[in-house]
Chain A
């Protein structure tokens, strides 16, 4: 007598554990378990819940070396800026040596966030002697010439007094006198001293404030400034606030450029979830009906283990903290086909063994032994393909590969172990006749043995 109780308990435990991981009907409040309405708690990709994904690439420019350290540092700066914006749950990742992936789930209008994260935000205070520069004038990359807003290029070397690196604080303010938005900043340490020395020496000259090589304002120095000052530039409220955020967060150690952007509006995301869920349900019902109709009781048992398969895949998925995407759902549905295949292969062999005159128990043993080889060979080739996708793929392709891999693994377990346990349980429960009907044979006495 096999230990059916233990087997059933194992299967039940797996099902319950997976259900808990995916739907979390019970949550721990400290040590006290609290019940809550079960609902799927999977991390959804941006294509399903809506949001924006931006891939930034560090720009290789002569004189600027791109290293992994610098890219990591840039990532931290970007993180600070996003935090200051107050966007919910942004996700930052480095991809390869020189790319940063930024994801904003649920963000409706990424325009402002995009402008903030992509800016280098190198603030420089430039000594331009007696020369005042208009807002918008731009230093050319050689730092020796300036292109004025009217297109005229004049020679003017960039003599940097101090950069934004020593800035301690910056905040937007509304000036009651000029009725304008401005940014107030404060220097500390070495920077404060340099700033004070220079302003003390150069009263009456112009100190031009430059952001990313573009002139913001060019005020005249009226007195020695002890490390504190304001930037004026006819800002709007938003512009002043954004500039303050940029200055507080510091400059990017390497300039970055967006190379890819994908935005899915919340409408489309919601639409996709609803449609995929419906497609999934219809697929599941259709498969269960077909398998049960064709393979009778074993088919029904296979459907039970297919439900376990579905729970297991989702459970593994949630436990790994993977993100479910639209291609991922496609991978799931494809692996549903593979899971059915495992059962079909075994049932076909079972039928043959029964027709060859074996007893039910011998046929079960032989069917699974032969089926195992076939399932292994056919699934390993699928796993090889999925592994290549995992290794190479990014984004959508990876999502497909992850669910396909998990799906194939779970399907092998359910076909090889779970279905067999269920079939053997039924055999010992006296349902042998019903099981043997899979072979569409007339009842034979030895089958009941």
Chain B
């Protein structure tokens, strides 16, 4: 089997990654031009009331619902109909209990009898808090993981490369959510942290291979060594990614509409987490190391490899 020289062709990897990042940024940037916010923020973040109803008459149209709400001054409400179930969701600003009772009464009288499937009513303050928690959580999680990776690999280069891969993954997930208009609610925070977890996890398995190989041999050039490590870790990456996707895929297909956006986020997380280890983290590790070698004017010895190297030279002696 001829080994692929991925690291020798790493500019193609860079090109593809840059393309993904660019596409994600464009997907977000065009949203305001289309007259909508970059992401489809749910009530969890914006505050507001989201009521999902199942009318006895499943053919009730959003127009009928809107007409019933207009006299209450809620004509601006976002009214959607779930195609597969016929359920209707009404999203308004944050309603006081009294206002909500009037809303339900108006719908019952003017549209028809229904059962309430779910209510999410979030005050604006809670929404702000959740947004802060999301940002803080991702930031703190990232920082801690950088510290851990730097410690375990005794080199900031590994941590930096892993982080660039992570940044790429986060951008892609944001881009996909901007494009598909999937709802960004509190489970989106969980998606983001899954991206952080899975992406780093996958990169570490590859880097762990690099670390192992650094301790074994000294004859290869660094790009060759990284290339071999990536290929060796590839079967594991694909198998793990595949099994995780099998699990998440069944949630996406059979888990029902409530978890579909969540499963979509996780799917993207697994795919991009696997790709970025090969396409972003590894080539960056190669170039950062080569750059450091050139700066030092000599072949830089990997700090983590020092003991093995010393042992090897003793054996040769």
Contact = CB atoms under 8 A, between A and B. Distances in A.
Interface in A375-390: 377-382, 384-386, 388-389
B115 A389 contact: no
Contacts of A263: 116, 118-119
A148 interface: no
Contact of B117 (A267, A294, A396): A267
Contact of B256 (A275, A337, A370, A377): A275
A85 B242 CA distance: 52
Contacts of B251: 276, 279, 283, 330, 333
B220 interface: no
Contact of A345 (B136, B205, B246): B205
A77 interface: no
Interface in A248-288: 258-265, 267-268, 271-272, 275-276, 278-280, 282-283, 286-287
Given A276-B255, A377-B204, A334 B194 contact: yes
Contact of B246 (A287, A378, A379): A287
B313 interface: no
Nearest to A275: B256
Interface string B213-248: 000000000000000000010011001101110111
A259 B125 contact: yes
A207 interface: no
Contact of B121 (A260, A333, A393, A400): A260
A185 B194 CA distance: 58
Contacts of B101: 111
Contacts of A327: 187, 190, 262
A334 B247 contact: yes
A374 interface: yes
Contacts of B263: 330
Given A262-B118, A287-B246, A384 B262 contact: no
A393 B137 contact: yes
B136 to A, nearest CB: 6
Contacts, number: 202
Given A267-B115, A279-B250, A384 B244 contact: no
Interface in A49-69: 52, 55, 57
A37 interface: no
A86 to B, nearest CB: 21
Given A336-B247, A340-B243, A344-B243, A282 B254 contact: yes
Contacts of B137: 388-389, 392-393
A378 B205 contact: yes
Contacts of A341: 201, 236, 240, 243-244
A115 B100 CA distance: 13
A261 B259 contact: no
On chain A, which size bracket covers the interface?
A: 35 or more
B293 interface: no
Interface in A311-361: 326-327, 329-331, 333-334, 336-338, 340-341, 344-345, 348, 352
B194 to A, nearest CB: 6
A381 B208 contact: no
A267 B201 contact: no
Contacts of B144: 384, 388
A384 B145 contact: yes
B148 A380 contact: yes
Nearest to A96: B129
B193 A389 contact: yes
Contact of A286 (B116, B123, B246): B246
Nearest to B95: A261
A24 B227 CA distance: 52
Nearest to B238: A344
Interface string B97-108: 100010000000
B250 A268 contact: no
Nearest to A271: B256
B248 A272 contact: no
A294 B235 CA distance: 11
B138 to A, nearest CB: 8
Q: Nearest 5 pairs between A and B by C-beta? A: A337-B244, A259-B123, A263-B119, A275-B256, A261-B121
Given A286-B247, A287-B243, A334-B194, 15 more contacts: A52-B119, A259-B126, A260-B126, A261-B121, A262-B118, A264-B117, A265-B118, A286-B246, A330-B259, A348-B236, A374-B208, A384-B148, A385-B193, A385-B197, A393-B189
Interface of A: 47, 52, 55, 57, 111, 114-115, 118, 258-265, 267-268, 271-272, 275-276, 278-280, 282-283, 286-287, 290-291, 294, 326-327, 329-331, 333-334, 336-338, 340-341, 344-345, 348, 352, 370, 373-374, 377-382, 384-386, 388-389, 392-397, 400-401, 404
